[in-house]
């Protein structure tokens, strides 16, 4: 399916969940989805016969600066060979996104990573804790306003 | 073959009883840390094993011991080209494959078409790298299973392929060879002959390896029917590379989503067939790697024959400043699907680089595969995944 058809079929099923669609001018065409509907949309996209997005290639957390955070889902269908991108935007004050761990298990560790480095909270994730950094780390290092700490647990970091 | 008992079967059939004692002995779960310095974890990985006697109830991998802030570094570089050496250091046994993925992503972002000669050299080098990587994977897997000799044979052959790298770009492990739009050096004049000689030398040694390890009865007993990963589980977890193909899924990005010039060559995708046990067991994953080395030789031979003349640095941009855009590019590295999500904001350094590491995803399948197996099989499963912690932790 071409990106236009994919966007149309999501729109037909979830008219209120799609906030924006950008097909031309973007290298990877994408649709913006509401943060509290992403799980339903993801499940539909995986299970629908025509879409069959059976693989979540990548899940990235992004800090867009200015108090805006986002999650980018790069999807592909092994069955049909087409790709599509979903984006969810949230704010720093309310960084809650529905977890898609129950749809694609790939999301399990990727969501933990996005929580770890960007600070996005995935509601419904069964085991949301830090994955790359130590459990007692403070802050989220890939936030653009992150200050590299001079001390770790009272010890001066020598560099 | 005789019927294979699972660990749970053995336990229910043989409860621990003491003569004169009215009921089977009370059992309790035990937590054991495997790693972070365990030799068979291939790096600094800690596995928290929850055991019921010898049976694994659950495995909780703890990663991050080798986290070197790759993504943070990328954002702090002054230009895109400076990221390349950091890419090499992610998967340090297949450094060139990582650089290739990053270069392809940046070229797509900049809309650069690289010269034919560059494409051919990149393919030859990437396939040599695949062979070098699989030789380490196979050698150390033999080591994990208690076979020391194949490891030495594998490293002997790996040295031969690294010699070609050394002659080309001076480095044996971390190359910084694939640059955005080109290569750091042209190949030496006798490169074609050297690669063909390597193929001629290496093809018979695969048979030697098969006789020594692949069809060794002890090795088969240790790996067949162990750590079976069904295809649908592998797909849902996003497993890729030999991990996915070992489960019988004919999926290779070089054929299914071709990049560079892979669509010009004639080769096959090896898949697991369950020849020694069940489809998707450790032996299948192992054997996919052996067959992949043969297919890589096919590609190298075809590419070396057709290597065109030209300048390898003609398309390297003077100033790398892509328009504001984001994209995701995936390539097939020896470990599996390596993806780069790159977001540019119109300046000379990347705004966000996220790496989808194949080992990261493949390792996340480990608990699903290991639950209910014996503790000794955890080592067999972990070795068959072929992880490199530098890439998992980044």
Domain ranges across chain B: 70-393
pLDDT of B134 higher than 90: yes
pLDDT tens-place string over residues B263-307: 889 899 999 888 888 888 899 999 999 999 999 999 999 998 888
Interface of A with B in 122-151 (CB under 8 A): 130-134, 141-142
Q: Choosing among A56, A82, A105, A144, which should be mutated to test the B contact, i.e. which has the most B CBs within 10 A?
A: A105
Task: For residue B72, give Cα distances in angstroms to A3, A115, A147, B204.
Answer: 32, 15, 12, 45
Residue B25's pLDDT band, with cuts at 50, 70 and 90, is low
The number of helices, as runs of H, and strands, as runs of E, in chain B is 16, 8
Instruction: Identify the weakest region by mean pLDDT among A110-119, B130-139, B316-325.
Output: B316-325
Contact between residue A38 and residue A86 where contact means Cβ atoms under 8 Å apart? yes
Instruction: Identify the weakest region by mean pLDDT among B21-25, B69-73, B159-163, B193-197.
Output: B21-25
**Hey, is the C-beta of A9 within 8 angstroms of any chain B C-beta?**
no
Contact between residue B227 and residue B351 where contact means Cβ atoms under 8 Å apart? no
Q: Among A74, A81, A108, whose Cβ lies nearest the Cβ of B341?
A: A74
pLDDT confidence of residue B125: 92
Compute the distance between CA of residue B105 and CA of residue B342 in angstroms, rounded to an integer.
8
pLDDT tens-place string over residues B217-264: 889 988 988 888 898 889 989 899 999 999 989 889 988 888 888 988
Task: Give the list of residues 6+ apart from residue B43 with CB closer than 8 angstroms, or none.
Answer: B66, B387, B388, B389, B390
Q: Among A72, A78, A134, whose Cβ lies nearest the Cβ of B341?
A: A72
Q: Among B64, B249, B328, whose Cβ lies nearest the Cβ of A132?
A: B64
pLDDT of B24 higher than 80: no
Compute the distance between CA of residue B113 and CA of residue B392 in angstroms, rounded to an integer.
31
pLDDT confidence of residue B312: 86
Compute the distance between CA of residue B299 and CA of residue A31 in angstroms, rounded to an integer.
39
pLDDT confidence of residue A73: 92
pLDDT confidence of residue B11: 64
In angstroms, the separation between the Cα of residue B188 and the nearest Cα of chain A is 37
Average pLDDT over residues B149-155: 91
Residue B1's pLDDT band, with cuts at 50, 70 and 90, is very low
Question: How do the pLDDT tens digits run along chain A, 159 residues long?
Answer: 788 888 888 888 888 878 788 877 778 888 888 888 888 888 888 888 888 888 898 999 999 988 899 999 999 998 888 889 999 999 999 899 989 989 998 999 999 999 999 989 999 898 888 999 888 888 898 888 888 888 888 888 876
Domains of chain A with CATH codes: 3-156 (3.30.460.80)
Contact between residue A96 and residue A47 where contact means Cβ atoms under 8 Å apart? no
Contact between residue B244 and residue B252 where contact means Cβ atoms under 8 Å apart? no
User: β-strand A55-65 against A151-152: which pairing, if any?
Assistant: unpaired
Q: Choosing among B341, B342, B357, which should be mutated to test the A contact, i.e. which has the most A CBs within 10 A?
A: B341
Q: Among B238, B343, B354, whose Cβ lies nearest the Cβ of A106?
A: B238
Q: Among B251, B341, B394, whose Cβ lies nearest the Cβ of A58?
A: B341
Task: For residue B115, give Cα distances in angstroms to B99, B136, B178, B308.
Answer: 17, 32, 13, 10
Please judge whether B328 and A108 are an interchain contact, meaning their C-beta atoms are less than 8 angstroms apart: no
Q: Choosing among B332, B346, B356, which should be mutated to test the A contact, i.e. which has the most A CBs within 10 A?
A: B356
Q: What is chain B's percent helix, strand, coil content, to nearest 5?
A: 50, 10, 40
Q: Among B235, B257, B354, whose Cβ lies nearest the Cβ of A58?
A: B354
pLDDT tens-place string over residues B103-119: 999 998 888 889 999 99
pLDDT confidence of residue B57: 86
Task: Give the list of residues 6+ apart from residue A157 with CB closer than 8 angstroms, or none.
Answer: A149, A150, A151
Interface of A with B in 89-108 (CB under 8 A): 104-106, 108
From first CA to last CA, the distance across chain A in angstroms is 52
Helix axes B191-209, B282-306, angle to 10 degrees: 160
Number of neighbours of residue A129 by Cβ within 10 angstroms: 9
Task: Give the list of residues 6+ apart from residue B351 with CB closer than 8 angstroms, or none.
Answer: B75, B343, B344, B345
**Hey, is the C-beta of A74 within 8 angstroms of any chain B C-beta?**
yes
From first CA to last CA, the distance across chain B in angstroms is 43
Please judge whether A131 and B75 are an interchain contact, meaning their C-beta atoms are less than 8 angstroms apart: no
> Of the segments A46-60, B63-77, B126-140, B305-319, which one has the largest average pLDDT value?
B126-140
pLDDT tens-place string over residues A112-121: 999 999 989 9
pLDDT of B371 higher than 80: yes
Tokens at A28, concatenated = 């990877």
pTM, two decimal places:
0.87
pLDDT averaged over every residue in chain B: 87
pLDDT confidence of residue B309: 87
DSSP-assigned beta bridge partners for residue B51 = B30, B56
pLDDT confidence of residue A159: 67
Task: For residue B92, give Cα distances in angstroms to B108, B129, B150.
Answer: 24, 11, 22
- CATH superfamily name and code, B70-393: Cytochrome-c3 Hydrogenase, chain B (1.10.645.10)
Tokens at B315, concatenated = 């398309």
Tokens at A98, concatenated = 């529905």
Residue B133's pLDDT band, with cuts at 50, 70 and 90, is very high
Q: Choosing among B354, B358, B391, B393, which should be mutated to test the A contact, i.e. which has the most A CBs within 10 A?
A: B354
Contacts of A141 in chain B (CB under 8 A): 69, 72
pLDDT confidence of residue B8: 62
pLDDT of B49 higher than 70: yes
Task: Indicate the helix (H) or strand (E) that contains B372.
Answer: none
Contact between residue A125 and residue A116 where contact means Cβ atoms under 8 Å apart? no
């Amino acid at each position: 399916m071409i990106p236009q058809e994919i966007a149309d079929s999501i729109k037909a099923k979830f008219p209120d969940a799609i906030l924006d669609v950008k097909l031309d001018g973007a290298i990877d065409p994408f649709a913006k989805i509401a943060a509290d509907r992403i799980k339903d949309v993801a499940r539909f996209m995986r299970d629908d016969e025509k879409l069959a997005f059976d693989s979540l290639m990548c899940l990235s957390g992004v800090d867009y600066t200015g108090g805006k955070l986002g999650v980018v889902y790069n999807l592909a269908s092994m069955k049909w060979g087409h790709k599509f991108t979903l984006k969810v935007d949230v704010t720093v004050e309310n960084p809650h996104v529905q977890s898609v761990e129950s749809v694609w298990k790939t999301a399990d560790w990727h969501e933990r990573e996005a929580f770890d480095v960007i600070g996005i909270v995935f509601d419904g994730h069964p085991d949301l804790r830090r994955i790359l950094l130590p459990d007692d780390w403070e802050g989220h290092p890939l936030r653009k306003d992150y200050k590299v700490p001079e001390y770790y647990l009272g010890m001066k970091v020598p560099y | 073959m005789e019927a294979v008992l699972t660990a749970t079967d053995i336990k229910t059939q043989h409860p621990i009883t003491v003569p004169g004692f009215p009921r089977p002995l009370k059992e309790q779960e035990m937590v054991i840390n495997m790693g972070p310095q365990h030799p068979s974890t291939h790096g600094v990985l800690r596995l928290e094993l929850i055991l019921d006697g010898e049976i694994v109830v659950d495995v909780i991998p703890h990663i991050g011991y080798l986290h070197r802030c790759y993504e943070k570094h990328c954002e702090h570089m002054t230009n895109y080209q400076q990221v390349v050496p950091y890419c090499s250091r992610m998967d340090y046994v297949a450094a060139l494959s990582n650089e290739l993925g990053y270069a392809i992503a940046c070229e797509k972002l900049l809309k650069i078409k690289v010269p034919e000669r560059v494409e051919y050299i990149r393919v030859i080098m990437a396939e040599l790298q695949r062979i070098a990587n699989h030789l380490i994977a196979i050698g150390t897997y033999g080591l994990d299973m208690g076979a020391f000799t194949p490891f030495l044979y594998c490293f002997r052959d790996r040295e031969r392929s690294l010699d070609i790298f050394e002659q080309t770009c001076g480095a044996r492990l971390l190359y910084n060879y694939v640059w955005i739009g080109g290569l750091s050096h042209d190949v030496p004049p006798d490169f074609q002959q050297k690669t063909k000689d390597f193929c001629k030398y290496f093809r018979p040694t695969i048979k030697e390896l098969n006789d020594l390890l692949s069809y060794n009865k002890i090795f088969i007993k240790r790996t067949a029917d162990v750590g079976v990963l069904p295809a649908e589980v592998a797909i849902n977890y996003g497993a890729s590379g030999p991990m996915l193909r070992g489960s019988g899924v004919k999926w290779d990005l070089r054929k299914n989503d071709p990049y560079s010039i892979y669509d010009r060559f004639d080769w096959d995708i090896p898949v697991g067939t369950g020849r020694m046990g069940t489809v998707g067991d450790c032996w299948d994953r192992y054997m996919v790697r052996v067959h992949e080395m043969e297919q890589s030789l096919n590609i190298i031979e075809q590419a070396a024959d057709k290597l065109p003349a030209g300048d390898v640095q003609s398309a390297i941009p003077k100033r790398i400043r892509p328009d504001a855009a984001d994209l995701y590019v995936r390539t097939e590295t020896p470990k599996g699907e390596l993806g780069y999500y790159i977001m540019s904001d119109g300046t000379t350094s990347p705004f966000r680089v996220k790496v989808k590491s194949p080992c990261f995803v493949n390792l996340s399948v480990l608990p699903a595969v290991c639950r209910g197996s014996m503790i000794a099989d955890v080592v067999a499963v972990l070795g068959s995944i072929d992880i490199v912690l530098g890439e998992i932790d980044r």
